[in-house]
Amino acid sequence: MSNPLRIALVAEGPTDGVVIEAALRSILNERSFVLTQLFPEASAAFVAFGAGWVGVYRWCHFAAGRGGGRLSGDQLLFGTGNYDMLVLHLDGDVAAFRYADGSLTPLPTDGALPCEQDCPPPSRTTNELRQVLLSWCGETATPPRTVVCMPSKSTEAWVVAALFPSDQAMVQGIECFASPELRLAQQPAAVRIRKKKKEYQSRAKELEQAWPRISAPEALVEAFRFQAEFLAAVPPAADSTP
């Protein structure tokens, strides 16, 4: 019998965590895992970081500071055996923001914002934003045991694709649709879902079941990339049998 895979998650918000956990249940299939969302988190220290992408920015700098300037040096994450992997989530629409939009004064080492590129393809923007995210972590490449999760334009693009595959935004290309969360409110009342953690949790099984479809190579580019990179980084199962 193998030990559960211990995964730490840093995400913009609690609903993102629900979607990512559903994706991981599909990706890992029958392999057990424990997902711990490090951010957002309820303690006063983390509340001070702020919400959304601003909170992710501050968390990355905080963790890199513990690691002597690099996320990969953070012993609380990678040196104590607490976690086997770290998933870093940031929505692709952050590429359109300025640091001033989040009342942030960037450090000289922070990548430039905005960095949004023409879409399609969505990867033009997410490739640029990935480098910005890594700069917040004091890294130039994704560290070992770390996986970037960057939906284009937001996690709600995955929700729309999973729950409402016939939505008009899917025809236009949901990964280039500026505000996919707006499509959630446009669904028939009987199936409509609001961006609330409890409502996302109530549909978690549907999200899990739809994941193979939306992460197929011909489907959503960033869902496919997240799955491929996660599988490449996941360590082999360790046998816990005495």
Residue ranges making up the domain that contains 14: 5-154+198-233
CA distance 119 to 175: 8
pLDDT of residue 242: 35
225 assigned to some structural domain: yes
* Positions in the chain whose pLDDT score sits under 50: 44, 239-242
- Does any domain span residue 166? no
Asked if residues 51 and 11 have their Cβ atoms less than 8 Å apart, the reply is: no
Tens of pLDDT, residues 200-224: 999 999 999 999 999 999 999 999 9
The pLDDT, as a whole number, for residue 51 is 82
Query: What is the pLDDT at residue 129?
Result: 98
Other C-beta atoms within 10 Å of 55: how many? 22
- Residue 181 inside a domain? The answer is no
Q: What residues have CB less than 8 Å from 132, skipping those under 6 apart?
A: 94, 95, 110, 111, 112, 113, 115
CA–CA gap between residue 19 and residue 171 (Å, rounded): 22
> Which residue is it, tokens 């030990």?
3
**H helices present in 67-167, as ranges:** 75-78, 123-136, 155-163
User: What pLDDT sits at residue 45?
Assistant: 52
Task: Give a yes or no: residue 132 inside a domain.
Answer: yes
Residue 175 lies in a domain: no
For residue range 167-181, list pLDDT tens digits in order: 999 988 999 999 999
Tell whether 34 is covered by a domain: yes
Residue 159 burial (CB count, 10 A): 28
- DSSP 8-state secondary structure symbol assigned to residue 2: B
Per DSSP, the three-state class of 147 is strand
Dist. CA 185–CA 11, nearest whole Å: 23
pTM of the model: 0.94
Q: How far apart are CA 113 and CA 93, in angstroms?
A: 11
Q: Is residue 49 part of a domain?
A: yes
Number of domains the chain contains = 1
**Nearest Cα residue to 153 out of 161, 145, 143:** 161
Is the Cα dihedral 75, 147, 200, 98 positive or negative? Answer: positive
Helical (H) or strand (E) element with 135: helix 123-136
Task: Assess if residue 176 is contained within a domain.
Answer: no
